[in-house]
Structure 1
């Protein structure tokens, strides 16, 4: 899962990363742009799998079914 923090004072948002990376970027932003204000805002999560499809194994099942149908229709 990836995290991104939004600044509570302006429109800044951190890059997607681990929770600790996102929090560190937000703290650094507050330190340089909003000194004296405690970091706030909201946290956004991205639960999609960055290395694969968000549909899981559904495409693989569809391809398997198509192969079975084609194989059944080609029998002599």
Structure 2
């Protein structure tokens, strides 16, 4: 599932990411932009697209399929 983390101090929000990566980016934001303030805000779950988009293996498979189709059409 993909998550987006929102800062509780300003308008910062992460991209749709895995939970651990989003949490780390939010923490990095707080360290840089709001030193001394504990990380806060809220987390939003992507319910419309729970997988967060197309994965690398899926994209690679599509590319390979397109290459096979292109090679078959050249004959």
TM-score range, shorter chain: 0.5 to 0.7
Name the counterpart of 2:63: none
Whole-Å separation in 2 of the counterparts to 1:26 and 1:18: 12
Larger Rg: 1
Aligned counterpart, 2:30: 30
**Unpaired stretches in structure 2, ≥5 consecutive residues:** 55-75
Which structure 1 residue ranges, 5 or more long, are not aligned? 52-76
**Higher strand fraction (1 or 2):** 1
Question: RMSD of aligned C-alpha atoms?
Answer: 1.1
Q: TM-score with structure 2 length normalisation?
A: 0.64
| 1:5 partnered with 2:17 | no
Tell me the TM-score normalised to structure 1 length: 0.63
Q: How far has the Cα of 1:10 moved from its partner?
A: 0.2
Q: Extract structure 1 runs of 4+ deviating beyond 6 A.
A: none
Q: How many residues are paired up? A: 51
